[in-house]
Amino acid sequence: MMETGPGSAFSAGAGARAGAPSGHNVHPPYEQLNYQEQGPVVRLTLNRPHVRNALSIQLSDELIHAFERIRDSTELKVVVIEGAGGTFCSGDDISEMPRWGNANDVMRRVSGYQHMADTLEALDKITIARVDGYAVGGGLEITMACDFVIATASARWGMPEVDVGITPGWGGTTRLARLIGRRLAKEVNLVGALHPASRAAELTLWNRVVPNDQLDAEVDRLIEVLLSKNQQAVRQLKLIIDSGVEADLKTAQAFEKLSAGLSGAVNGGWQVEDADQAAGLVAFHEKGDLWQRRRGLARDFWTDGPVGTHGDK
């Protein structure tokens, strides 16, 4: 971190303030992010290998732009995120933090990072983190927002923010605690150690650890399996798992029931006898008899309040 006087690390005098990360700041082509579409697969490569792909202000903006671009695509099915130069991501670029501004500016910036992670997590595509080298701090937070994580045996991970005197802002305490539990999340954050990839797999933080020379082959094998599936079913499964895990059991089961009904509909059983097969929409457009009857019955029904006066003399 840059040497500064007491209380001045986030001061307004440290240079032009960065503002909150936003895709609105970006006009492709990207400079610090490689974006490559290969049919239904898109590969995003963090490309700052000289600083272990630390998330600069610019790279963060480019990531948000890329995630929103992918979100809007109906052709892409799988997203692979990786780092250039044999490492995944070493987290936020600490050297730029003086540009983050005052305490309110920092909160606004962290809100932008949370938006970035939430956008990644909510994509209706399957996301794969391809991890080599270091995935620490913000780098680990990216992996936690992905659906799958495949890493080399030599990869290392952790949340070392405590030794810089800062706290994680977009998953290092929240998603981590949900993935591995409160006690282990405290250990990871309060100690700040760098752990081997094997421990991430043991904790179910990552899916699979492979020999260093087999990473690409294993990612490609997973992509082949995923693309063989009914993609509508894949989208529904991701949605109900991610939504259900944050809900009580009954609400989560309601998601499952609705998803089962949607599956029945898209597989051909959409004509439910006491539904009107879009007749209501047609009647509204044409202002036909069905629309007139429904609105005639409903428009003024009980509009006199809870104490009825209809028929009173």
Dihedrals phi, psi of 171, to nearest 5 degrees = 140, -20
Report angle CA 165, 171, 175 to the nearest 5 degrees.
Answer: 130
CA distance 6 to 18: 21
Active-site annotation, residues: 141, 161
CA distance 275 to 140: 47
Burial of 165: CB neighbours in 10 Å, binned 0-12, 13-18, 19+: exposed
Report angle CA 150, 151, 157 to the nearest 5 degrees.
Answer: 120
Nearest CA-CA partner of 131 in 70, 200, 77, 76: 200
Neighbouring CB atoms inside 10 A of 297's CB total 9
